[in-house]
Amino acid sequence: MSTGFSINGEIYNVTLSSLPADITLNTFIREYVGLSGTKFMCQEGGCGVCVCVVTGKHPITGNVRTWTVNSCLTLLNTCVDWDITTTEGIGNKSVGYHPIQKRLAKMNGTQCGFCSPGFVMSMYGLLKSKGGNVTMEEVENSFGGNICRCTGYRPILDTMKSFAVDSTIEVPKECQDIEDINNIICTKTSNLCKSSCTILSKRPPVNYKDGSDWSWPKSIGELFSTIEQLKIKKYFLVAGNTATGVFRRDPFIKTFIDVNCVSELRQHSITPKALTLGANLSLTDTMAIFEEAAKMKGFEYCQQLWNHFDLIANLPVRNMGTLAGNLIMKHNHNDFPSDVYIVFEALNAQVVLQEILVKEKTVTMTEFLKTDMSGKIIRAIILRPYIREQYIFDSYKIMIRAQNTHAYVNAAFLINVERPSLKIQNARICFGGISPGFIHATAIEEFMKGKQLYDSQVIAKVFSIANSTFIADPDPSNGSAEYRQKLACGLLYKTILKNTPESLIPQRLLSGGEILKRPLSSGKQVYESIPEDHPVHQPIEKFEGLKQTAGEATYANDIPVAVNQLWAAFVTAKLVGATVANIDTSAAFKLPGVVAFLTSKDIPGKNTISGNEPMFFLENEELFVSGAIKFYNQPIGVIVAESNATANMAAELVKITYDGEGSEVFPTLHDVLKSSRSDRINHTVKSLIENLKIEDNYDVCGLGKLDLGLQYHFFLEPHTAAVIPFEGGLEVYATTQWMDLLQGVLTELLDMKNNEVQVKVRRLGGGFGGKGTRNSFAACAASLAALKLNRPVRFVQSIESMMNVLGKRWAFHCRYEFYVKHTGKIVALRSEFYEDAGYQSNESPMGHTVLVSKNCYEFTDNYKLDGYMVLTDSPSNTPCRGPGSVEGIAMIENIIEHISFETGLDPIDVRKANLIPGHKMEQMLVYFIQSTDYKMRKQKVKTFNENNRWRKKGLGIAIMEYHIGYFGQFPATLAIYHRDGTVIISHGGIEMGQGMNTKIAQLASLELGIPVDMIRFEGSNTVNGANSMVTGGSIGSETLCYAVRKCCNIINERLKNVRQSLKNPSWLEIIQTAYNQHISLIVSEDCKPNDMDPYTVCALALVEVEVDILTGNYHLPRVDILEDAGESLNPNVDIGQIEGAFMMGLGYWTSEEIVVDENTGELKTNRTWNYKPPGAKDIPIDFRIEMLSGSPNVAGFMRSKATGEPAICLGIAVGFALQEALQSSRSDAGLAKKWIPLTAPMTPERVLLHSGTDYSMLHLNYT
């Protein structure tokens, strides 16, 4: 069978049997159509880089509609009769760019650009689906499924909200025309697409050579006829396929039944007696029905259902995911915290089931979970009306971030209250996330009957019962059992508070009955206008911005697929301490398309990914384990196959047997410290002071500790290597920040010469230090396979593979004691810090941690600092944005805050007491306090906390001095073409979103006196960029600008006589004359470590938090940052860097929690499903950035300073703000004043558990 659909106006009649049965739309778009603007990363609908827009007819109404989809989850066979649009289809260089693409680029909404097409298409789909009429609130709520690691979201949201009908955002003049907002460009004709290209396809069943089959029944009868023919054969009912983003589908199921066109399953009805929902309604369609039903008497509760459904997953997932799909996940996995199930269960919804040759059967939700669903389908869900005056309905979903995450605990309550007695007739108290078998709080439901809801003794008994019956199962990756028990109690209490008549409740309890309500976010950016040296110091548009938003910017995985290309995937070991006895690949090789399996025995050279680089590597790190297994999921080999899907599936089928039973596992820093395994603890940094001099010259002393967890880099572009054998050598397109290292590693691994291996990098989709050395794993494995098989090999690591195999930011533990005067001045300080190296001691940040640990404070010689490197059974950790600085500054800032707490002094005063006299921070601090209204806001926070028992606020300040130093050499080549005078630049740096090329172009434009648009960049490579150092440490832009300026100076000197010999010559005349005189128009230069002097960057942040004490959730009403960026080379770029760095620090301190199995060492948080960087609605509500004016840098490049990393160190201010909020809560709870040791991240779990809240406090008697 052939199927018809269109992509960007071009019709595709595809013979389905020629493709895999489970091929995704993403794979087809990228590998068969050749459109690379649509990216992929997580392949589970959690990152948004794959978003496309679909227009098609509703199978029931026939109405044409538009919606967004995650192409990584959407199976191609479900796309029949769709019109699909990618970012290339709405605008490109040939026909002009779309207004969304133009605005996002112009308004500084891109950095690395990998996420940009996904954001563009999400916005395009929203506008198209709403006919262009959207509000700013709708816009800001629509990006829950789009992750950006670079920008901090603020400029993206500003851009998108500018399209709203109620927008107040200023739009650049050149971006104001939106007449072509709905245009689609045909990629076949490059013209505007005038109409739908959809052809109505016939859909007979398809049989595949591998035994798979696919059918499209159009009715219940056809569906059951298909099922009946299967007998005992396993089958998969396909609608949106979104469940595979939660639970991976069994790869051996070969029978697919597409139920999207079964009309009976997509219908609904609303009558005064019932709301009937077809089981195959999408969640988005269901939400629209809720809005309609909420207007009817008895169904007003549907508005709350809309609110709850809005928290399920994200918009593209809700567009495709169905009610039945969600409920079946709960049926098959009772531990799944289904939001659909929990609200329907509380509402006593009925489930209509149907079986072959059997009439419909209606069951309760509870009965449904116990029903054997073999041969059955869910046909409908029925909701009954509940009179608002008689019933209370509330539901909650408590998550680690604002959107697109599953619940710690979800809950729904339906309470039938008799009026006016307020006696409870009946109650349904339902929870998810407690344990697989716990849904109804049966004991509480029974107790409540006949009781008065607001009676204090009743409430006390309710929570006494709750405390004894809410027994949560252990699930470290979803919060502790204690947290989930307290959270469940808090949610029930919240409903009681919300519905208690105000006359019966103290005023300060009222806010506890509400969830945190987030208003629209906004931002303010302040910077100095510097007219000199134009276009340097100007906020010009990012050089590659339009290419990125239009999907024209190419990344490593966008290199066209070669005809005979193979794909690679790691096979990993899973028993720490054992050795590999045997590797059985027979099951893997039974899969069609599996070509080879390679291990350490196949390496012709040295088994290494570290190479000979003593600056970073103290010992060799193996590509494939050859002896004892060092960590869970350590690679033992690479499997190679004809497709990415086959390679990954085959890797899972390889069976490994081990010698020995393994060893005791110490996967974390604290596991080692608890065990006192001295052989794993190396005293790397030894203090020059043997003992502190502690006499009677202090007034206050204290002890404390600080814990910082691991952090995954979470770049959106996966580790990728596309390797092509070429004339006896290898061309390696890799996602590396360090080409020279990778080239050296490959030559050692493969026993080749350096000039036989060329590494090429056009750009990276984010790096953050994680692609400095860790890309060597993928690149080495792919290169080994390419060399051995003499075929192109591509390796795109899955997110699970990256998080399992590769190291992260070093975890950190600090123990300290301080002795201070009553003024807060430190007289003696001891600090021991421990950093988690992983299984090796490579790439340690410890030296830098020591360097920055004094921050901008004055210390006497009475400061004892000792650093310890701890070896754990985990991947070797690696630099992550601000390595060493994040930890060192957090250590001393935390001590300063602790001193403030113990002395009772304001944190500002303690800082002032310890600042180095005459330090720049003195003036900055005074200005910052005034500009942020610190004192007034401090008083407002105090008043707020006094007036609210269950809602608290806090202010936290952090200051820092960040050290910038130069290392290595950075080459650059500049060439001028004599025919038109255009300039091409190639350099040894890596553009990864930091705006390096933009700043270089500005600089070259200034030095050569030509427009920026005459300059272009060639991708970095190991020819023009030979011997270059890693692009990191925030110095890439400055060093390459310096090298390019040297090139420009040489060119200008060569052209000097030509200029003088011509009268008012144009640039082109100068160049052509020089060419005719045989003057070289190409030059190479570099920047060396001593070409510029090191310097420091000072910055401050003031963070305000608001905390819901009953849940541990919090948000940031306002954040102010003041940073000394010198005279910025590009204020747009630098403000974006500051915002993005701070947001990465915010994630580190709030939501990015790494959890490992303490028995095996297995990483439990290795996907977007369970590892959560901040989203668009996690940014500060009021986000203010100011770059210090009148502060030229006397060192560095052209009076500027680096901005890529410093602001991440300010994230700890969130912890200090939470400290103030929690201290108020603990005081209200009657607890003694005690410092709360901070831990990164301060998750809702940690916040609630530190709040001092106990079930006995959940009553109405506070005064």
Same domain? For 959 and 993 the reply is no
User: Average pLDDT of each block of 10 consecutive residues along the chain (1263 residues)?
Assistant: 85 91 97 97 98 93 95 96 97 96 98 99 98 98 98 98 96 73 56 52 83 93 90 88 94 92 95 98 98 98 99 99 98 97 99 89 98 96 97 99 98 96 96 96 98 92 96 93 98 96 93 97 96 96 96 97 95 98 98 98 98 86 98 99 98 97 96 94 92 89 98 99 97 98 98 98 98 98 99 98 99 98 97 97 93 93 94 98 98 99 98 98 98 98 98 99 97 98 98 98 98 98 97 97 99 97 96 98 98 98 99 99 98 98 99 98 98 99 98 97 98 99 98 98 99 96 66
Burial (CB count within 10 angstroms: exposed 0-12, middle 13-18, buried 19+), residue 668: buried
Distance CA 344, CA 351 (A): 10
Please report whether residue 558 resides in a domain. Answer: no
Kindly give, in sequence order, each residue whose CB lies less than 8 Å from that of residue 138, ignoring residues fewer than 6 positions away. 126, 130, 164
Q: Are residues 926 and 1009 in the same domain?
A: no
Q: What is the CATH number of the domain that holds 56?
A: 3.10.20.30
* 1120 and 1069 housed in the same domain: no
Are 724 and 773 contained in the same domain? yes
The pLDDT score that the predictor gives to residue 220 is 94
DSSP per-residue codes, 863-909: EEEEEEEEE-SSPPP---SSTTHHHHHHHHHHHHHHHHHHHT--HHH
DSSP 1003-1070: HHHHHHT--GGGEEEPPEETTTTTTPPPS-TT-HHHHHHHHHHHHHHHHHHHHHHHHHHSSS--HHHH
Say if 197 falls within a structural domain: yes
Residue 183: what pLDDT?
Answer: 64
CATH of the domain at 1011: 3.30.365.10
User: Each residue of 963-1003: pLDDT tens digit?
Assistant: 999 999 999 999 999 999 999 999 999 999 999 999 999 99
CA distances from 627 to 579, 601, 1159 (A): 6, 12, 21
- Residue 811 resides in a domain: no
Residue 291 lies inside a defined structural domain of this protein: yes
- Number of domains observed in the structure of the chain: 5
CB 738 within 8 A of CB 691: no
Asked whether residue 768 is assigned to any structural domain, the reply reads yes
Q: Verify that 1050 and 1100 share a domain, yes or no.
A: no
Half-sphere exposure of 152 (CA within 13 A, CB side): 33
What whole-number distance in Å separates Cα of residue 672 and Cα of residue 149?
Answer: 32
pLDDT given for residue 181 in this prediction = 64
Given this model, what pLDDT does residue 1139 score? Answer: 99
User: Residue 695: how many CB atoms within 10 A of its CB?
Assistant: 9
Domain check: are 316 and 333 in the same one? Answer: yes
Among residues 787, 805, 823, which one ends one of the domains? Answer: 805
Residue type, 1053: E
Residue 429 parent element (H or E) = strand 424-435
Question: In terms of DSSP bridges, do strands 255-258 and 236-238 run parallel, antiparallel, or are they unpaired?
Answer: parallel
705 domain residue, yes or no: no
Kindly state whether residues 1052 and 1110 are assigned to the same domain. no
The total of other beta-carbon atoms located within 10 Å of residue 918's CB is: 8
790 and 650 housed in the same domain: yes
Domain's final residue, options 805, 835, 854: 805
Task: Say if residue 1075 is in the same domain as residue 1111.
Answer: no
pLDDT score for 694: 85
Q: Where are the beta strands (DSSP E) in 727-861?
A: 729-734, 757-761, 793-796, 812-820, 826-838
Contact 542, 991 (CB under 8 A): no
Same domain, 1081 and 1130: no
HSE at residue 334, side-chain half, CA atoms within 13 A, is 14
401 lies in the same domain as 339: yes
Q: What is residue 614's predicted lDDT score, i.e. its pLDDT?
A: 81
Q: What DSSP string describes 443-504?
A: HHHHHHTTSBTT-HHHHHHHHHHHHHH--PPP-GGG--HHHHHHHHHHHHHHHHHHHS-GGG
Q: Give residue 1165's pLDDT.
A: 98
Same domain, 1151 and 1181: yes
- Mean residue pLDDT of the chain comes to 96
> In which element (H, E) is residue 380 found?
strand 376-383
Residue 224 placed within a domain: no
415: domain CATH number is: 3.30.390.50
Q: Among 951, 1008, 929, which Cα is nearest to 975's? A: 1008
Residue at 231 is within a domain: no
Residue 624's domain comprises 564-663+718-805
**Domain-ending residue, one of 177, 203, 229:** 203
- Sign of torsion, CA 142 145 148 152? positive
- What's this model's pTM, rounded to 2 decimal places? 0.97
Q: In this structure, what CATH number is given to the domain that contains residue 570?
A: 3.90.1170.50
